[in-house]
């Protein structure tokens, strides 16, 4: 099982504690093994293959909780899809389409329930905007009430491929995607989506 590199310090730390605890008492190892197994599950990072050769793939695992028209300085007025990740979902985020990063912005904020619509405006979040062959799009990683860290590993000028990993959010959160004007949603509210696999947008005819 492949693991997200951001989780390796936590996993190695817990493994060291399990081994060290076992030198004192086997019961300590048993107790510490449980959080280590949880960490292994949470930081899993499986390989993903898009379900179709074309189309915009989901940037996150989870449930579609919002589809609405919104305005943003980078994209203008467009359609936003909000995807809520629960604690059991894979938390590694992926690029929905090939593009060049043009816009990066971190906004400190609160840690309100990520599933709430207002979380997109008041919570801690990280914006990444990119230019694709279909136009500009925007990704927003939004910290939830339990999230402790947003990880974003891209900078202006970076070029990423469709489905490529670009970051993760630790412990439950939300990802918004602002689609280009030329792309329409291919999912509905309450749909379950898989990062890097599920097609959530298609080019308008």
Give catalytic residue positions. Answer: 173
> What letter does residue 5 receive in the DSSP assignment?
G
Helical segments of the chain, H only:
8-24, 26-42, 119-122
CA gap 193, 205 in Å, rounded:
23
Residue 23, Cβ density class (10 Å: 0-12 exposed, 13-18 middle, ≥19 buried):
exposed
Instruction: Find tokens 């994209």 and name the residue.
Output: 75
């Amino acid at each position: 099982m492949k693991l997200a590199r951001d989780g390796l310090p936590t996993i190695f730390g817990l493994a060291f504690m399990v081994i060290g605890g076992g030198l004192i008492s086997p019961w300590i190892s048993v107790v510490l093994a449980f959080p280590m197994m949880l960490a292994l599950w949470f930081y899993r990072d499986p390989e993903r293959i898009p379900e179709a050769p074309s189309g915009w793939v989901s940037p996150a695992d989870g449930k579609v909780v919002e589809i609405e028209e919104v305005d943003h300085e980078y994209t203008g007025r467009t359609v936003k899809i909000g995807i809520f990740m629960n604690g059991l979902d894979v938390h590694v985020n992926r690029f929905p389409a090939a593009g060049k990063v043009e816009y990066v912005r971190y906004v400190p904020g609160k840690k309100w329930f990520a599933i709430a619509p207002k979380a997109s405006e008041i919570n801690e979040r990280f914006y990444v905007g990119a230019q694709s062959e279909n136009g500009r799009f925007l990704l927003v990683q939004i910290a939830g009430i339990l999230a402790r860290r947003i990880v974003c590993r891209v900078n202006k000028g970076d070029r990423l491929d469709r489905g490529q990993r670009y970051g993760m959010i630790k412990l439950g959160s939300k990802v918004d995607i602002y689609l280009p004007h030329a792309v329409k949603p291919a999912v509905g509210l309450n749909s379950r989506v898989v990062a890097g696999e599920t097609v959530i947008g298609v080019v308008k005819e």
